[in-house]
Amino acid sequence: MKKYWLLPAVLLLAAAALVAIRSMGEEDLWLCENGEWIRHGTPNISKPVSPCAPVKRQANIIVAYPEAGAVLGDQFTVSGQARVFENQFNLRLSRLASGTAEKIFEQPLTSDARDAGEFGAFSHQVDMLDYYSRVSDGDYLLEVFDYSAKDGAEIDKASVPIKYIARYQSINLRSKIDDFVFFYPVGWQARSGIGTSTDLIYYSGTDGFINVKGIDFGTSTLPRDETAVLSTLAEREAKRPGAPYGSNPKFETVKLTSGLSGRFIMPSDDQNESQNHQAAFVMDISFSPLTVDSKGKNGKWMSSDFDYLLVISNRARIKELVNLIKIDPIK
């Protein structure tokens, strides 16, 4: 007999539980809809007095720097946090002009999130000089975003408008296969009446100068090893009459981020003031010799092949300007 009255008791308890759950359900609530508190069902509390604001979903890509409207120079960092699939997403820079956006570049980014669903930091250095032929002062748009795996649409996009103001201007020396791009500060002017047949570039301003020369070997026999050649040419330049770099200049062989190899000549403290604090850099371009028409002996014009260049600048500027040199293959 006991078995028959257990079933109604269980059904009665289930019904009571359902009623209790229903009484606490979402229908008996004040819900925030379109900025207003809306009653659903019969809430057992009065209308909230706090402001009604919809809960915003946290963005999956957050750009911390630069801020919107930032005025930036030739090098800047884009950094922030991202929570995206496999830590892979994208950065795009576009120039804004006449109501259109011209893409300058787009490239992948990676965050350092340890697990799926977690935020990871990202940081990327932008060098506007890499795009020297396509950028100028003006308004630009940085976009950090992901592509949907479902349909390829751009999602989770963070957009940051910026203003770019260039600090440098550029001038090219062209070989048969490459442009060698030299940068100098905005405001420097070309210097006329430069001296010898090997002078290729000369710009100066109130705070410095840059002079680029082709190195003429003359009848010299040079070593075959690149490092030995750079050492020989640097020492020969340092020992020119008049000790242009002082009595005890320092030498340093380096390989630049552009891939160029060279050797710095840094003046000693006893350098004569008439030398304008000059320092120099001997640069190897033998992989892409530079052919230049230059004024030779007796006023005749001749074609010269230069495998090495000499960059001269004031000591305070030499390393800055040398590290800006870029190789741009001719397309």
Q: Which residues does residue 312 pair with via DSSP β-bridges, in sequence order?
A: 211, 280
**What is the pTM (predicted TM-score) of this model?**
0.75
One-letter amino acid identity for 263? R
* Cβ contact 278:315 at 8 Å: yes
Which among 293, 286, 281, 290 has a CA at the least distance from the CA of 325? 281
Q: Which class would CATH give 68-164?
A: mainly beta
pLDDT tens, the chain, 331 aa long = 445 545 555 455 555 544 444 444 445 677 777 778 788 788 767 777 667 766 556 799 999 999 999 999 999 999 999 999 999 999 999 999 988 999 999 999 999 999 988 999 999 999 999 999 999 999 999 999 999 999 999 999 999 999 999 999 999 998 888 899 999 999 999 987 555 557 889 999 999 999 999 887 655 667 778 889 999 999 999 999 999 999 999 999 999 988 899 999 999 999 999 998 999 999 999 888 887 765 544 444 455 678 899 999 999 999 999 999 999 988 7
Domain boundaries, given as residue ranges, for the chain: 68-164, 168-329
> C-alpha distances in angstroms, 83 versus 34, 112, 326?
28, 10, 35
CATH of 168-329, one of 3.30.70, 2.60.40, 3.40.1000, 3.40.50: 3.40.1000
Main-chain dihedrals φ then ψ at residue 22, nearest 5 degrees: -60, -35
